[in-house]
């Protein structure tokens, strides 16, 4: 499990991953990292806490999206 996955888990998110995307789900919100388009989607309007933002940034770093 990656550092970002652990951060999301601490925030109450479950992780589901396949070859196309990673889904973080906490029953109220879904955060989806889509590999093909390098996008992050939210299924609803959510307030993003600093801890959640840090987890999102860490995942983007792990995926190598900042280096491109």
Going from the N-terminus, what domains does the chain have, and what CATH number goes with each?
3-67 (3.30.310)
Please measure the distance between the N-terminal and C-terminal CA atoms of the chain and give it in whole angstroms.
Answer: 24
In sequence order, which residues have a C-beta less than 8 Å from that of residue 9 and are 6 or more positions away?
Answer: 1, 15
Kind plus residue range of the DSSP H or E element containing 41:
strand 39-42
- What digits encode the pLDDT tens for the residues 36-68? 999 999 988 888 899 999 999 999 999 999 876
> What is the predicted pLDDT for the residue at 68?
60
Tally of CB atoms within 10 A around 6: 13
């Amino acid at each position: 499990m990656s550092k970002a996955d652990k951060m999301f888990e601490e925030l109450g998110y479950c992780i589901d991953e396949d070859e196309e995307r990673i889904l973080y789900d906490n029953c109220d919100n879904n955060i989806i990292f889509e590999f093909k388009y390098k996008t992050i989607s939210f299924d609803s309007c959510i307030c993003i806490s600093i801890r959640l933002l840090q987890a999102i940034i860490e995942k983007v770093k792990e995926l190598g999206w900042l280096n491109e």
